[in-house]
Amino acid sequence: MVVGAGSVNAAWQAFSDELARWCDAGRTVDFWWRDDDAAQATPALARLLGLAQTSATPLALAVIPAHFEAEAFAQAGLMISLLQHGTDHRNRAAPGEKKTEFPAAEPVAGAVARLAAARARLALHPRFLPVLAPPWNRLPEPLAAQLAAAGFQGLSRYGARAGALAAAGVVQVNTHIDLIAWRAGRGFAGDGPCLQAAVRHLAAKREGTADPGEATGWLSHHGVHDEEAWSFLERLLEATGHMSGVRWRAAPELFHAR
């Protein structure tokens, strides 16, 4: 898709204007960054970790336990957190159900047992946080209600959260901006759509139609990034990383047990 430089600049200007509204109101913008589907050492993962390091941005990696190779994360520094991205990322949806690893028909006890077994692989990593980021961002509510008992302190899906807790004892912090256009060739969604999604969530928080306590989450998928997606991320982190009034929050702060 060819997008004129004019509309790209306009999108960045609108984003900058929204940040300025927060600043004028004396409020702090909280962002966080989740990247999905990490598991093994790949050039894309190395690039992602390098970007987090050079930009000094906290990064939460949603890691697929079944494919997890500990060596790939041996160098993960203090800015990196590991979340649990389901168990094996296999689509178990029933016919007519949207893609999910956790179909509505699966007994909760079975799903909990799967999650616990998978978590044991990740839990040895010193940067692991017991936070579930389910593949395709989908989890049945009866299973969410059992997460605390299953040892999880957090849940991360997609879209403005309905409340600070997904269930008793489970802190909920979602993502709100997906960098990938999954239904349009799995390429970068574009500066305009990404920045507009950010402005929408920020404006909703500012106006009180979304929970102002939820950090606005940027969702990346390093394994499918094209150059445009990488460039956008670099520009975003560079533009906001040192901006007064903007904080990039680390997952351990956001998902601290309460």
Using the rule CB under 5 A, give the single segment among 33-41, 111-119, 148-156, 188-196 that binds Zn ion: 33-41
Instruction: Name the helix (H) or strand (E) containing 248.
Output: strand 246-248
CA 194/CA 218 separation, integer angstroms:
9
Instruction: Name the helix (H) or strand (E) containing 61.
Output: strand 59-63
Q: Which of 36, 101, 191, 214 binds Zn ion (CB under 5 A)?
A: 36
Contact assessment for residue 225 and residue 186, using Cβ atoms and an 8 Å cutoff:
no
Q: Which is nearer to Zn ion, 34 or 161 (CB)?
A: 34
Which stretches of 87-140 are DSSP H helices? 108-122
Task: Map tokens 């890691």 to a residue.
Answer: 63
Output the smallest distance, CB 63 to Zn ion, in A.
Answer: 10
CA 18/CA 24 separation, integer angstroms:
10
Q: What is the CA radius of gyration of the chain?
A: 18
Output the smallest distance, CB 89 to Zn ion, in A.
Answer: 6
Output the smallest distance, CB 176 to Zn ion, in A.
Answer: 17
* Contact string 114-143 vs Zn ion (x = CB under 5 A): ---------------------x--------
Q: Which of 18, 30, 35, 37 binds Zn ion (CB under 5 A)?
A: 37
Q: How many residues does the chain have?
A: 258
Output the smallest distance, CB 133 to Zn ion, in A.
Answer: 8
Q: Which is nearer to Zn ion, 22 or 68 (CB)?
A: 68
Strands (E), 111-212: 128-132, 154-155, 165-167, 170-172, 177-178, 180-181, 187-188
Beta-bridge partner residues of 60? 34, 81
Q: Which is nearer to Zn ion, 36 or 178 (CB)?
A: 36
Tokens of 34: 């989740």
Q: Which is nearer to Zn ion, 39 or 52 (CB)?
A: 39
Using the rule CB under 5 A, give the single segment among 32-40, 102-110, 125-133, 192-200 that binds Zn ion: 32-40
Beta-bridge partner residues of 63? 38, 84
Identify residues 189-228 at the interface with Zn ion (CB under 5 A).
Answer: none
What sign does the dihedral 197-82-136-156 (CA atoms) show?
negative
Using the rule CB under 5 A, give the single segment among 36-44, 161-169, 177-185, 194-202 that binds Zn ion: 36-44
| Three-state DSSP class for residue 75 | coil
Output the smallest distance, CB 56 to Zn ion, in A.
Answer: 26
Size of the site for Zn ion (CB under 5 A): 3
65 lies in the site for Zn ion, by CB under 5 A? no
Q: Which is nearer to Zn ion, 114 or 247 (CB)?
A: 114
Q: Which is nearer to Zn ion, 135 or 217 (CB)?
A: 135
* Residues at the site binding Zn ion, with contacts judged by CB under 5 A: 36-37, 135
